Chain A
Amino acid sequence: QVQLQESGPGLVKPSQTLSLTCTVSGDSISSDFYYWAWIRQPPGKGLEWIGYIFYSGNTYYNPSLKSRVTISVDMSKNHFSLNLTSVTAADTAVYYCARGPTAWVDYWGQGALVTVSS
């Protein structure tokens, strides 16, 4: 059974960098079939794709966030990470990590609420 678990600070100050890590169990992050994604959901709103990474390091990002986002992978720890710079209150959301084969998600993490506030 594949499981994903987000971890990181729940409170980030405006203009700072949001950093989250997703630890994967039940699958190897070096799989050449799946991507590893970050998706977020602002309070009361729908899902927004942030981006994803393949084990090779190839990344794809949401064009609206591309200038502020970096997703990286650490195969030795079987986890991947999200960095989002220059955050504002609009970045307050539940952040999910996920796995999928290209066009959809098959496994989701439980989600981590990140609040941007001074």
Chain B
Amino acid sequence: QSALTQEASVSGTVGQKVTLSCTGNSNNIGSYAVGWYQQISHGSPKTVMFGNSLPSGIPDRFSGSKSGTTASLTISGLQPEDEADYYCSTWDYSLNAQVFGGGTKLTVL
């Protein structure tokens, strides 16, 4: 069981806005920024967001936010190439460890 909870699956159509969530507690998301990773077809993960910052080369249709113990990754203007598994992670000070969510499979219809 993952320390962070993500939806198992989310779907959307091309051009739609979708939001993926990552829920933790005060020991992790409530205290630290969150990273988001995209993994296409079991390839190597790629970082698409850390905190509220967009890494170089990531389209600005990706954005991140956090409210309390829930972080969100929003993709505005969904594209076919966004279909992937998405994972979140942060630090947990009670576990003294980095923790990951179980991942969300995003399907573009």
Mark out the residues of chain B between 9 and 57 whose CB falls within 8 Å of any chain A CB in the assembled complex: 32-35, 37, 44-47, 50-51, 55
Picked from B33, B37, B96, B102, the residue with its CB within 8 Å of the CB of A60 is B96
Per-residue interface assignment for chain A, residues 99 to 112, with 1 indicating a CB less than 8 Å from any chain B CB and 0 otherwise: 01011111111110
Given the complex of chains A and B, what is the CA–CA distance between A48 and B37 in angstroms?
13
Please tell me if the beta carbons of A105 and B90 are within 8 angstroms of each other in the complex. no
Chain A contact-residue range equals 20 to 34
The answer, yes or no, to whether A26 is at the interface (CB within 8 Å) is no
The answer, yes or no, to whether B62 is at the interface (CB within 8 Å) is no
Nearest-CB residue, chain A, relative to B96: A60
Please tell me if the beta carbons of B44 and A52 are within 8 angstroms of each other in the complex. no
Given the complex of chains A and B, what is the CA–CA distance between A111 and B41 in angstroms?
14
Cβ contacts under 8 Å, A63 to chain B: 95-97
Mark out the residues of chain B between 89 and 109 whose CB falls within 8 Å of any chain A CB in the assembled complex: 89-91, 95-103
The answer, yes or no, to whether B67 is at the interface (CB within 8 Å) is no
Please tell me if the beta carbons of A100 and B100 are within 8 angstroms of each other in the complex. no
Residue positions of B touching A, CB distance < 8 A: 2, 32-35, 37, 44-47, 50-51, 55, 87, 89-91, 95-103
29 contacts between A and B (CB under 8 A): A46-B2, A46-B100, A46-B103, A47-B89, A47-B100, A49-B89, A49-B97, A49-B98, A49-B100, A60-B97, A60-B98, A62-B97, A63-B96, A96-B45, A100-B35, A102-B32, A102-B91, A103-B33, A103-B89, A103-B98, A104-B33, A104-B89, A105-B37, A106-B35, A106-B47, A106-B55, A107-B47, A109-B44, A110-B44
